[in-house]
């Protein structure tokens, strides 16, 4: 066998499908959509999205027009595809051509959609986002009030969805959650007459689903939990693990006490030990912040990362690990049974989302089928 890559990323599509079904069960009567932006959080939209659809998903969320066009090619016609980042300038013809649904985030976007969002004479559906406390995207309270005061403004195109987004849903105790929910409800209440009957409402991301049924409304939009990240940090993870990232040992050397390791010589071996060099680095999404911080596992044995992570390589101290396990060509777990993406993120001072979306195109990707 030719070793073309120095790392193997295994993605368990059956676990993705099971996570989808678990979330769908949890929200009961509401629909469960899926956020597959950023190439399904780095896991591969072409592989992941069809599995979600087969598991029952009918509503997909991406960020950009390009992502939406590509997802439409993957899924074919049928599922609704929402563009979370709004209506890009000049994007209406492509959006309509691919039957995508923009999430309109401002009065100018709404006006532009009223003007250009038609197929022939027929207005095409769009969603509207209301900002309830992130100051990121979506209509402010005043813009929303102005819009509903303006008579039939919510009836000039089919309103496919009204969405809000939680800022602190991964902190169940945060008062922001209740405050945002109360504000969102108030926005919907004052729009009761202006909103076409039956307009679907969406509020919860992954963590929002776990805040309780008050947060579910008609359609949830989980991403992270589908891919195995813990929606309730600090509590046991209810989701199935999806990823295994294994790096290959390229070289092993015995070193004396006092030997420096890596760029900047930031680690010096205190005792005689063995150092193994693994063929992945920060260009693969194994962040440089893991220098002298994280660890990898060989079976059940933990091997600390020593010295700086370089672009294509990192070093581990394997002095305590049975030599038989530490051979060139052997695989070590960077993400695996003993260390989740969330664990690795914590060691790197970041969140699991960033670990996933930084996963390298350089890895050999192996997809375990959904069944
Ligand atoms: C990314 C995103 C989601 C999905 O969030 P997760 O925390 O990954 O479940 C839902 N809604 C919006 C607006 C998003 O940007």
Active-site annotation holds for 263: yes
In the sheet that 31-32 helps form, which strands lie side by side, from edge to edge?
Answer: 31-32, 219-220, 201-202, 159-163, 126-129, 101-104, 80-83, 59-62, 34-35
Q: Quote the pLDDT of residue 360.
A: 81
Find the range with the poorest average confidence among 219-233, 297-311, 353-367. 353-367
Q: What is the mean pLDDT of residues 325-337?
A: 95
| Backbone φ/ψ region at 99: left (φ over 0), alpha (ψ -120 to 50), beta | left
Ligand 1 near 221 CB (within 6 A): yes
CA distances from 143 to 58, 107, 129, 157 (A): 30, 7, 11, 18
Q: What is the mean pLDDT of residues 158-165?
A: 96
Ligand 1 near 223 CB (within 6 A): yes
Phi, psi of 365 (to 5 degrees): -100, 130
Give 35 Cα–ligand 1 centroid separation in angstroms. 6
Alpha-carbon torsion angle 305, 368, 324, 293, nearest 10: 10
Which band of pLDDT confidence, cut at 50, 70 and 90, is reported for residue 299? very high
How confident is the model over 205-252, as pLDDT tens digits? 999 999 999 999 999 999 999 999 999 988 999 999 999 999 999 999
Give 222 Cα–ligand 1 centroid separation in angstroms. 6
The whole-angstrom separation of Cα 284 and Cα 150 is: 51
Q: Quote the pLDDT of residue 1.
A: 58
Instruction: Please state the domain extents for the chain.
Output: 13-227, 243-339
pLDDT at 186 over 80: yes
The whole-angstrom separation of Cα 211 and Cα 204 is: 9
Q: Residue 293 contacts by C-beta under 8 Å, 6 or more apart in sequence?
A: 305, 347, 348
How confident is the model over 57-90, as pLDDT tens digits? 999 999 999 999 999 999 999 999 999 999 999 9
311 is in an annotated binding site: yes
Q: Quote the pLDDT of residue 234.
A: 86
Q: Of all atoms in ligand 1, which is nearest to the CA of residue 226?
A: 9
Q: Of all atoms in ligand 1, which is nearest to the CA of residue 229?
A: 8
Can you read off the two tokens belonging to residue 221? 């939009």
Give 165 Cα–ligand 1 centroid separation in angstroms. 8
239 is in an annotated binding site: no
Angle at 109 between CA 112 and CA 99, to 5 degrees: 75
Which band of pLDDT confidence, cut at 50, 70 and 90, is reported for residue 2? low
CATH class of residue range 13-227:
alpha beta
Which band of pLDDT confidence, cut at 50, 70 and 90, is reported for residue 31? very high
The CATH number, out of the four listed (2.60.40.10, 2.40.37.10, 3.40.50.2020, 3.40.50.1000), of the domain defined by the range 243-339: 2.40.37.10
Residues in the chain: 371
Q: Quote the pLDDT of residue 129.
A: 97
- Which has the higher per-residue pLDDT, 154 or 8? 8
pLDDT at 311 over 70: yes
The whole-angstrom separation of Cα 301 and Cα 333 is: 10
Ligand 1 near 205 CB (within 6 A): yes
Tell me the β-bridge partners of 48.
none
Ligand 1 near 84 CB (within 6 A): yes
pLDDT at 361 over 90: no
Per the prediction, the chain carries an average pLDDT of 95
Counting ligand 1 atoms within 8 A of each CB, the residue from 57, 84, 135 with the most, and so the one to mutate, is 84
Q: What is the mean pLDDT of residues 179-201?
A: 94
To the nearest whole percent, how much of the chain has pLDDT over 70?
99
| Backbone φ/ψ region at 84: left (φ over 0), alpha (ψ -120 to 50), beta | alpha
């Amino acid at each position: 066998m030719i070793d073309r890559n120095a790392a193997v990323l295994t993605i368990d599509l059956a676990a993705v499908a099971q996570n989808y079904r678990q979330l769908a069960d949890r929200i009961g009567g509401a629909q469960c959509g899926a956020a597959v932006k950023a190439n399904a959080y780095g896991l591969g939209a072409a592989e992941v999205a069809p599995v979600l659809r087969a598991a029952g998903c009918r509503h997909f969320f991406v960020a950009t027009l390009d992502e939406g066009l590509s997802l439409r090619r993957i899924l074919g016609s049928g599922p609704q595809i929402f563009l979370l980042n709004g209506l890009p300038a000049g994007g209406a013809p492509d959006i309509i051509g691919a039957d995508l649904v923009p999430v309109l985030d401002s009065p100018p976007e709404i006006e532009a959609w009223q003007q250009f969002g038609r197929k022939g004479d027929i207005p095409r559906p769009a969603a509207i986002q209301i900002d309830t406390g992130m100051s990121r995207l979506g209509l402010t309270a005043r813009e929303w009030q102005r819009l509903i005061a303006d008579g039939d403004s919510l009836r000039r195109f089919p309103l496919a969805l009204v969405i809000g987004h939680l800022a602190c849903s991964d902190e169940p105790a945060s008062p922001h959650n209740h405050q945002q929910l109360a504000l969102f409800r108030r926005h919907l209440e004052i729009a009761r007459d202006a909103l076409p009957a039956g307009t679907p409402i969406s509020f919860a991301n992954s963590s929002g689903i776990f805040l309780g049924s008050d947060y579910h409304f008609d359609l949830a939009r989980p991403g992270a939990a589908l891919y195995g990240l813990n929606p309730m940090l600090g509590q046991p993870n209810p989701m199935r693990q999806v990823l295994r990232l294994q790096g290959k040992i390229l070289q092993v050397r015995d070193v004396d006490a006092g030997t420096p390791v890596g760029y900047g010589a930031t680690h010096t071996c205190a005792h005689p030990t063995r150092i193994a060099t693994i063929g992945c680095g920060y260009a693969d999404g194994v962040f440089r912040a893991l220098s002298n911080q994280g660890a990898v596992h060989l079976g059940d044995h933990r091997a600390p990362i020593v010295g700086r992570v370089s672009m294509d390589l990192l070093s581990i101290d394997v002095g305590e690990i049975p030599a038989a396990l530490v051979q060139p060509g052997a695989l070590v777990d960077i993400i695996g049974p003993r260390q989740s993406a969330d664990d690795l993120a914590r060691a790197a001072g970041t969140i699991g989302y960033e670990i996933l979306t930084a996963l390298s195109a350089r890895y050999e990707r192996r997809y375990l089928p959904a069944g």
